[in-house]
Amino acid sequence: MTTATTTSILDTLGIWDDERVVKPSEATDSHVLVENPATGEPIAAVRLQTSEELEKTTAAAVEAFKAWRKVPGPERGQLVRKIGEKYREFLEPLGELIALEMGKIRAEGIGEVQEVVDIADFAVGLSRQLHGITMPSERAEHIMKEQYLPLGPVGVITAFNFPCAVWGWNAMLAAVCGDSLVWKPSLLTPLIAIATNRLAQEVADEAGFPGLFGLIIGADDTIGEPMIADRRYPLISATGSCRMGRRVGEVVAGRLGRTLLELGGNNAIIVEPDANLDLALKSIVFGSVGTCGQRCTSTRRAFIHESVAEDFIAKIATAYKSVVENKRIGDPLDESTLMGPLIHEESVQAFENAIAEATKQGGQLLAGGKRLDPESLANDAIKGGHYVEPTLIRMPAGEHLPIALDETFAPILYVTTYKTLDDAIALQNGVVQGLSSAIFTGSVAGLGRFLDPSGAGSDCGLAYVNLGTSGAEIGGAFGGEKDTGGGRESGSDAWKAYMRRQTCTMHFGDSFALAQGIRFE
C-alpha cells in the first residue's frame, strides 16, 4: 500500500476539501487521528465538532424537513435516484476508502457501496408505494383508511464495521419517506462518512434542499448524548454494541421517542449429516474470516453433527491454516488478499484475551490464536497493521464455553458437536443475541424444523438454509431479536419505521352516527 495510493483515493473523493480534515502533522487536541489499520499509520486528522455545531446541524435538518416533506413521494424518489447514480460513479474509490480506513478487503468495500446503490434503487420504486390500507366502517356513509406521513429529522448513529452501507439503508428510505437526516459516524471511520454524505448533499443542494443530509463528527458526551436526548429527533437509528443500544434505548424511551436498534450478534451455523458439506465448509470459512470477523453477522459458532464432525472440523482447521500459509492475509487493497486487519490495537487485545479465556475454560485450540508477524503477511509494507490468525476453538461436546456466549469482534470460531437437531437449535438459541442463523441440511424435515412457523426453530431475525450467516440482500428486512435490539432496516416494510401512521375516517352523509352502536339523541 503506497502513499500515492492513499493520496489518490483521498484526492478523488475530495476529502481534503472538507474544513474538518487536516494532515496528521497538523492535528491538535481537538482532532481525532484516523489510522489505517493495515499499516498502523495515520491517514488524516478530523476535527471534533462542538455542541454549537450540533445545534446548527439539527436546526438545519428541522428546516429541511419542513420543505422536503411537502415534495411528492415520487419526486423525492427522483432525487434519491440521482444520489444512487452518484455512488455508481464513485463506486470504486468509495470502496477503496473503506478498505483504507476500515480494513475490509477491496472487494467487500466496493460491495458495501453497492449496497447503497441497491437500496437507492429499491427506494426509488418504494417512493410510489408508501401506501396505507382501507377498511370497512361499521357506520353507513363512512370511509376509513390509513396513511403514512413523514416523521421528522432522523438521527443516525453508525459503527465502524459498515461505515457506508448502514447509513445508506437509513438515508435512502428516510429520504423517500420525506425525512431529513443527521448522521453521527464512528470516530474510527469518519473519512468515508465525509465522502458519502458529501455526495448525497451535493445532489440535495442542486435540488434546493440544504441541510437534508447532515453530518456531525464528535465525541459521545458532546454530540451523541445531546443528540439522543433531543426531542427534535423523533427517531434515533443506532448500530453498535448492546451496551450502546441500551443507553440509546433508555434515553430515547425517556422522552417517548422511537428507536431502531441494530446491536450485537453471536451467529451460528448448524451442519446436518445429510448436508452438502463442501458448501457448508466454504460458507463457514467465509462467514468467520470475512471482514476479519468484524461483521455483525460473522459466523462465531458452528454445531456439527457428531457423525460427520471429526473430518469436517479438521477441514475447517486446514482451511484456516492455509489462509495464513498461503499468505492470503494482508493489504486490503491487494486483490489477492482474503482477510485484512482488525480495526485497531484494542481489537487485537480483545482477540488475545478471548483466546486465553477460552483455553482457561477448557477449549481446545485447533488453529490460529496468534497475532501475525510481518513475515506471515502478503506484503512487507504493512508491518504495523493489526493482523491476527483466523482461529478455531473446539468446545466440549454439546456445550458452550462461557466465553462463546459473548461476541468478540474478531475471526474466532467456536465449534462443537451435537446429537439431535433439537439439541443443535437449543445451542444456537442459547445466547442473548438473536441476529443471524443458518442450517445446512439436505432434508425438508431439517428445513422445516429450523424454520418452524410456530417459532420453535431459530429465534433469530435472519434465518438461512444452505447459506452462511453473512451476506444479506437489501430486499429483505435486516435485523434481529433479543439483545440485538429488534429493529429492522433495508427492505420489505422497514420503511414504516421512518413514517408516522394516521387512521383517517371520513363521513360523507348527513346522519349523526356513533361507533359501537352508541345512541346520543
**CATH superfamily label, 267-477:** Aldehyde Dehydrogenase; Chain A, domain 2 (3.40.309.10)
Residue boundaries of the structural domains of the chain: 3-263+485-501, 267-477
Q: Report pLDDT digits (tens) over 67-105.
A: 999 999 999 999 999 999 999 999 999 999 999 999 999
Q: At 256, which amino acid appears?
A: L
How much is the average pLDDT of 483-501?
97
Q: At 185, which amino acid appears?
A: P
Q: Is the pLDDT of residue 455 over 70?
A: yes
The confidence score (pLDDT) of residue 380 equals 63
Q: How far apart are CA 263 and CA 445, in angstroms?
A: 31
Confidence of residue 25 (pLDDT cuts 50, 70, 90): very high
Q: Report pLDDT digits (tens) over 32-78.
A: 999 999 999 999 999 999 999 999 999 999 999 999 999 999 999 99
Q: How far apart are CA 332 and CA 80, in angstroms?
A: 30
The confidence score (pLDDT) of residue 377 equals 81
The confidence score (pLDDT) of residue 521 equals 79
* Residue 406 grid coordinates: 459473548
Q: Is the pLDDT of residue 378 over 90?
A: no
* Among the listed residues 446, 362, 461, 344, the one whose alpha carbon sits nearest the alpha carbon of residue 404: 362
Q: Is the pLDDT of residue 383 over 80?
A: no
Confidence of residue 2 (pLDDT cuts 50, 70, 90): low
Confidence of residue 437 (pLDDT cuts 50, 70, 90): very high
* Among the listed residues 190, 201, 182, 186, the one whose alpha carbon sits nearest the alpha carbon of residue 100: 190
List own/partner pairs for 309-318 with CB under 8 A and 24 or more apart: 309/417, 312/271, 312/277, 312/280, 312/281, 313/366, 313/392, 313/394, 313/415, 315/281, 316/281, 316/284, 316/285, 316/366, 316/367, 316/392, 316/413, 316/415, 317/366, 317/367, 317/392
How much is the average pLDDT of 471-496?
96
Beta-carbon contacts of 227 under 8 Å, excluding residues fewer than 6 positions away, are 54, 58, 155, 157, 182, 184, 216, 233, 236
Helices (H) and strands (E) in the chain, counts: 14, 22
How much is the average pLDDT of 379-397?
88
Q: How far apart are CA 416 and CA 55, in angstroms?
A: 52
DSSP lists the bridge partners of residue 145 as 134, 504
Residue 132 and residue 181 in contact, taking contact as beta carbons nearer than 8 Å: no
Residue 414 and residue 395 in contact, taking contact as beta carbons nearer than 8 Å: yes
Q: Report pLDDT digits (tens) over 152-201.
A: 999 999 999 999 999 999 999 999 999 999 999 999 999 999 999 999 99
Q: Measured between alpha carbons, how far is residue 34 from residues 7, 102, 253, 388 in Å?
A: 14, 10, 33, 21
The confidence score (pLDDT) of residue 373 equals 80
How much is the average pLDDT of 505-521?
91
Alpha helices in 137-189 (DSSP H): 165-176
Secondary structure E strands in 272-367: 299-305, 364-367
Cα Rg, the chain, nearest whole Å? 25
Share of the chain residues as helix, strand and coil, in percent rounded to the nearest 5: 40, 20, 40
* Residue 53 grid coordinates: 455545531
Q: Is the pLDDT of residue 1 over 70?
A: no
DSSP for residue 373: P
Q: Report pLDDT digits (tens) over 238-253.
A: 999 999 999 999 999 9
Q: What is the dihedral of CA 278, 267, 168, 102, to 10 degrees?
A: -80
* Residue 157 grid coordinates: 448513529
Q: How far apart are CA 514 and CA 508, in angstroms?
A: 14
End-to-end CA distance of the chain: 84
**Hey, which residues are catalytic here?**
262, 296
Q: What percent of the chain has pLDDT over 90?
A: 94
Q: Is the pLDDT of residue 381 over 70?
A: no
CATH number of 3-263+485-501: 3.40.605.10
Q: Is the pLDDT of residue 218 over 70?
A: yes
Q: Is the pLDDT of residue 481 over 80?
A: yes
Q: How far apart are CA 42 and CA 172, in angstroms?
A: 31
How much is the average pLDDT of 411-432?
98
Q: Is the pLDDT of residue 375 over 90?
A: no
The confidence score (pLDDT) of residue 518 equals 87
Residue 263 and residue 245 in contact, taking contact as beta carbons nearer than 8 Å: yes
What does pLDDT average to over the chain? 96
Q: How far apart are CA 400 and CA 405, in angstroms?
A: 7
The confidence score (pLDDT) of residue 3 equals 73
Q: How far apart are CA 179 and CA 234, in angstroms?
A: 10
Q: At 443, which amino acid appears?
A: S
How much is the average pLDDT of 204-227?
98
* Residue 120 grid coordinates: 437507492
DSSP lists the bridge partners of residue 261 as 238
